[in-house]
Structure 1
Amino acid sequence: MGKNKLQKFEEMDGFPHVIQAEFDEVFQKDYKLKGKWSSDFFGNLNPLVLELGCGKGEYTVGLARRYPQKNFIGVDIKGSRMHAGASASFKEELKNVGFIRTHIEMINSFFASNEVDEIWLTFPDPQMNKTRKRLTSTRFLDLYARFLKPGGQIHLKTDSWFQYSYTKAVCEANNLAVIHDYMDLHNDDAPLELKDIKTYYEERFMAHSVPIKYLCFILPERHQLAEPEIDIPKDIYHNAGRGVKLYHNDEKAPPKLDVR
């Protein structure tokens, strides 16, 4: 691990609003704040909103600034990225924002039934070859339903046509109510509040004229969800380190598009 990463982890250990739980604190057991985030962490009864896969945390912090009457928690395993949002919110003394460094697969160790009001998924990896790893797959929706309040909303922002199409198909296959659906968020007649907070990746994709898709749907109380039986064309590009490989037809050496 690089020296810079170690310094960031050590600095975040001193942030009162950052949880870096040890593996044995959450593996097959409940974390000590489960069911107590309102009383013991935030000290109020305001609605609780999660951003899963928060990356640098800029969206979590942006939402916290915009909606002081709600509490926000960003979740990601990459602590070195999360440091940016954790540091910014600490310096601004934002009292309605927190961060958890953990694997999303362990999220049920942190939150109790009916404890969370909304979930944001901002630019998750579409996992085009691995259904079980998609954050909008029925596997993960089942995890969310264990702590999301009945009628709780899930927000998806993505550059990926595959991710967007797959998630819509999941909604259709399970009769999940769709509240908002924009195939080109920043060029459609969408509310400003959905446009003005942008992640690092969102700005980079927009700079290369990649449309941003947004889908908001309601997850009902727990019930058996079915995967859609549909063949979805894969995106014509994929992440490649700090760049993106863009494919044209059957080119063997696709050009790089510097997006990520």
Structure 2
Amino acid sequence: MRVRKKPWAEGYINDHSDLIVTAPETQLGHWQERFEKQQPLQIEIGIGKGRFIVEMARQHPEINFLGIEIQESVIATALRQLVESGLTNVQLVETDGANVDTLFAENEVDALFLNFSDPWPKTRHAKRRLTSPNFLVHYEKVLKPAGMIQFKTDNRGLFEYSLASFNNYGLTFDEVWLDLHNSAGNEGNVETEYEQKFSAKGPIYELKAHFPTLTH
């Protein structure tokens, strides 16, 4: 999806370099230095306008959060929300989250969130889906043993693909919800902007899984 360029975005990002990283390769293995406290580190790949990552940080001050987004205009909107929140346990990263193993050291991340990722519906594009084995191998490397992956989508096809992908890779499922908002799993659920807008049109699917510890 093409996002309209925001003329103010670049300047705003430069003015708030204490909250956003634009050269993440310099932080490999040192992300905790960006935060006031050294705490468990959880990341979201593809943050949209930032509602999820900011609200998670607000609800969980005992955790440090990193939100990754490649589109400057999108992450600038999220940054503005972060600045207004005054939170100190969340940082943003302007980069492509496809190769997280180049951004984080081995076992540096405690949990990873994938919210409403691009479904890439054509079969020939399956390898671009963020739940494909191409990406799972990177997640396995940076996540701590038994580190969690949480995946949410409103796309039934992508959800079914992700279930099969995770299962074939050998992940252990902790929770699987076919209608998150009408299930016990909705307690404590933090919605994204997209989720708020489209949940009335159909069910939200969610799964939580982790890599078997013996693989590390």
Deviation of 1:167 (Å): 1.1
Secondary structure, aligned partner of 1:128: coil
Query: How many residues are matched?
Result: 210
Secondary structure, aligned partner of 2:42: strand
Secondary structure, aligned partner of 2:165: helix
How far does the alpha carbon of each residue in 1:160-215 deviate from its partner, in whole angstroms, 9 at most, with x for none?
10111111112222332101110000012224112xx211111121132x110010
Q: Among the aligned pairs, what percent are the same residue?
A: 31
Consecutive unaligned residues in structure 2, runs of 5 or more:
none
Q: Does 1:141 align with 2:121?
A: no
Residues 68 and 109 of structure 1: is their aligned pair in 2 closer, same or farther, counting only changes over 3 Å? same
Rg comparison, structure with higher value = 1
- Please provide the CA RMSD for this pair: 1.9
Given residue 17 of structure 1, which amino acid in structure 2 is its aligned partner?
L
Secondary structure, aligned partner of 2:148: strand
TM-score by length of 1: 0.76
Given residue 41 of structure 1, which amino acid in structure 2 is its aligned partner?
R
Deviation of 1:4 (Å): 5.9
Deviation of 1:56 (Å): 1.1
1:164 maps to 159
Aligned equivalents of 2:77, 2:30: Cα separation in 1: 26
Structure with bigger RCO (C-alpha 8 Å, 6+ apart): 2
Consecutive unaligned residues in structure 1, runs of 5 or more:
224-260
Pick from 172, 176, 190: which aligns with 1:177?
172
Contact 1:145/1:222 (8 A) holds in 2 = no
Secondary structure, aligned partner of 2:54: helix
Given residue 42 of structure 1, which amino acid in structure 2 is its aligned partner?
F
Residues 143 and 174 of structure 1: is their aligned pair in 2 closer, same or farther, counting only changes over 3 Å? closer
Deviation of 1:80 (Å): 0.8
Detail structure 1 runs of 4+ shifted over 4 Å in the superposition.
Answer: none
Q: Which has the higher helix share?
A: 2
Residues 160 and 80 of structure 1: is their aligned pair in 2 closer, same or farther, counting only changes over 3 Å? same
1:231 maps to none
TM-score by length of 2: 0.90
Deviation of 1:128 (Å): 2.0
Secondary structure, aligned partner of 2:180: coil
1:111 maps to 104
2:206 maps to 214
1:69 maps to 62
